[in-house]
């Protein structure tokens, strides 16, 4: 459970940092949030990996969720368009990350079944 909370923290920090990049265009003080967000995100991702989360799973979910969350936040905060094509892209990215997770779980279950 802890590794998933760490991954969630990594996702939220990364999305915050990326959204802050946009804010920093007009207000350079936001670059501090950008730096803290990215450093914190990579630290949380590292800790999730240390807790035993697989790299492919962690990176896939982190990347896909970050893309989706950033696109949604950019629409809500900055009024960026959220078109049907964008929505389809978000769904495909999340679906791909889900496939990686399910494949990883199946491989882990087979490995434990062989070892038993």
Q: What is the pLDDT of residues 25-74, one digit of tens each?
A: 999 999 999 999 999 999 999 999 999 998 888 998 899 899 999 999 99
- The half-sphere exposure of 100 on its side-chain side, counting CA atoms within 13 A, is 18
Closest CA to 58 of 109, 4, 113, 111: 4
Kindly state the percentage of the chain with pLDDT values over 70: 97
pLDDT at position 17 is 98
pTM, two decimals, is 0.83
Tell which residue, 6, 12, 54, 2, has the closest CA to residue 37: 12
HSE-up of residue 108 (Cα within 13 Å, Cβ side): 11
**Count of H-run helices and E-run strands, the chain:** 4, 0
- How many CB atoms within 10 Å of residue 41? 22
Spatial separation of the C-alpha atoms in residues 26 and 20, rounded to whole Å? 10
Residue tagged 């990176």 (tokens): 59
């Amino acid at each position: 459970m802890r590794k998933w909370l760490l991954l969630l923290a990594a996702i939220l920090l990364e999305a915050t940092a990326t959204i802050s990049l946009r804010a920093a265009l007009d207000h350079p003080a936001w670059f501090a949030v950008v730096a803290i967000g990215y450093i914190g995100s990579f630290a949380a991702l590292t800790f999730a990996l240390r807790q035993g989360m697989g790299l492919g799973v962690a990176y896939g979910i982190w990347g896909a969720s970050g893309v989706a969350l950033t696109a949604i936040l950019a629409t809500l905060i900055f009024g960026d368009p959220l078109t049907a094509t964008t929505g389809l892209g978000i769904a495909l990215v999340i679906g791909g990350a889900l496939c990686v997770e399910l494949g990883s779980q199946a491989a882990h279950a087979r490995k434990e079944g062989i070892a038993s």
